[in-house]
């Protein structure tokens, strides 16, 4: 039997979805599995569809929303300055009026009353003749991004931020090591230090220029942040060196984290001026805190372990 297709036009692109392979419930099942909130509105901003992700983010079930209009101010969207968007400045309205995509960072009001930061993406829905008949909005929880920005802003105010990599700087790291040592002395909470050095950094600068060297440091910084746990602290110690402070670890966990940093950086590359990929690697020295030692002694031991990796060929991790 020949497949039946239904045309759906979003923005200016027409997509054909096979109808014989799935009933409408199939599409609903797919959309309901998304963690993002998704809803459709008609040209009057009347809600025609509301997925389970929207319920999870707002507390409102589809039965409470379908058929109602955005201008009813159900979610009470406001922008960063606190301006109400449902009556003026609504991304959905803008998309319906100008036929273009729109994005915004806004706050919605959860059914329980709290404010939830969300990132909103809107696309117009067009009929076959090109007229805009509605819009689709996808919104996602923006809490992690907002918290990250607050931390960055706080560190900038306190001069704790390395401006190239956007990581904590040496001053902040020294304070963090001191705090971890105090906790260790009082509560015996174990922690470790990773000293991470970008291999061949001078060669990168000399051969490809300092802009390329800066990009290398920035990419390594991003990779290290993603390699470690949310509770760990990683920052730029200086030059091509990074330090990570990892809490609640034993030697086995420390080894896993050190090797993960090394291996993930080895999968990272940047483009040189000629467009060719330039591979990056790091050498990692990692050690657990010992009773009675100072912060300088702890970091120095990690530093010596890192230099052993350098002497033995780089792109290595040594754990003690």
Dist CA 123 CA 256 (whole Å): 43
Is 240 one of the catalytic residues? yes
Instruction: At 235, give phi and psi (nearest 5°).
Output: -150, 175
How far from the centroid of its chain's Cα atoms is residue 315's Cα?
26
Torsion of CA 38, 42, 44, 46, to 10 degrees: -50
What's the sign of the alpha-carbon dihedral 301, 304, 306, 309?
Answer: negative
Dist CA 3 CA 134 (whole Å): 27
DSSP states of 26-92? HHHHHHHT-SSEEEEEETT-BEEEE-HHHHHHHS--HHHHTT-BGGG-SS--B-TT--B-SSSS-HH
The helix/strand count (H/E) of the chain reads as 10, 16
Task: Please state at what angle helix 170-187 crosses helix 295-311, rounded to 10 degrees.
Answer: 120
Measured CA angle at 34 (ends 18, 76), to 5 deg: 115
Alpha-carbon Rg for the chain in angstroms: 26
Residue corresponding to tokens 């923006």: 142
According to DSSP, residue 27 is labeled H
Q: Which residue in the list 197, 240, 296, 303 is annotated as catalytic? A: 240
Residue 202: burial class (beta carbons within 10 Å; 0-12, 13-18, 19+): exposed
Q: Are 141 and 152 a contacting pair, CB within 8 Å?
A: no
Give me 191's structure tokens: 């922690």
Residues annotated as part of the active site = 240
């Amino acid at each position: 039997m020949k497949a039946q297709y239904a045309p759906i036009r979003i923005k200016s692109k027409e997509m054909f979805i096979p109808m014989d392979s799935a009933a409408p419930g199939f599409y609903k099942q797919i959309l309901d599995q998304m963690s993002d909130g998704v809803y459709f509105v008609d040209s009057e901003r009347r809600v025609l569809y509301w997925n389970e992700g929207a319920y999870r983010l707002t507390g409102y079930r589809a039965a409470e929303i379908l058929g109602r209009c955005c201008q009813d101010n159900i979610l009470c969207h406001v922008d960063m300055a606190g301006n109400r968007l449902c009556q003026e400045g609504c991304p959905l309205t803008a998309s319906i009026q100008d036929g273009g995509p729109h994005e915004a960072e806004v706050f919605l009001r959860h059914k329980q009353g709290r404010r939830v930061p969300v990132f909103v993406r809107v696309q117009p829905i067009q009929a076959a003749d090109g007229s805009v008949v509605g819009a689709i909005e996808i919104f996602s929880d923006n809490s992690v991004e907002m918290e990250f920005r607050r931390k960055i802003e706080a560190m900038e105010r306190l001069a704790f931020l390395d401006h190239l990599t956007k990581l904590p700087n040496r001053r902040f790291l020294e304070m963090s090591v001191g705090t971890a040592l105090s906790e260790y002395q009082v509560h015996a909470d174990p922690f470790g230090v990773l000293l991470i050095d970008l291999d061949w950094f001078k060669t990168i600068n000399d051969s490809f220029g300092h802009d390329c060297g800066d990009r290398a440091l920035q990419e390594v910084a991003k990779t290290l942040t993603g390699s470690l746990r949310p509770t760990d602290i990683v920052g730029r110690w200086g030059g091509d060196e990074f330090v990570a402070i990892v809490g609640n670890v034993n030697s086995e966990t420390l080894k896993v984290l050190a090797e993960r940093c090394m291996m993930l950086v080895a999968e990272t590359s940047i483009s040189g001026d000629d467009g060719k990929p330039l591979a990056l690697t790091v050498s990692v020295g990692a050690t657990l805190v010992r009773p009675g030692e100072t912060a300088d002694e702890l970091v120095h031991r990690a530093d010596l372990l890192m230099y052993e990796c350098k002497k033995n060929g780089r792109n290595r991790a040594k754990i003690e």
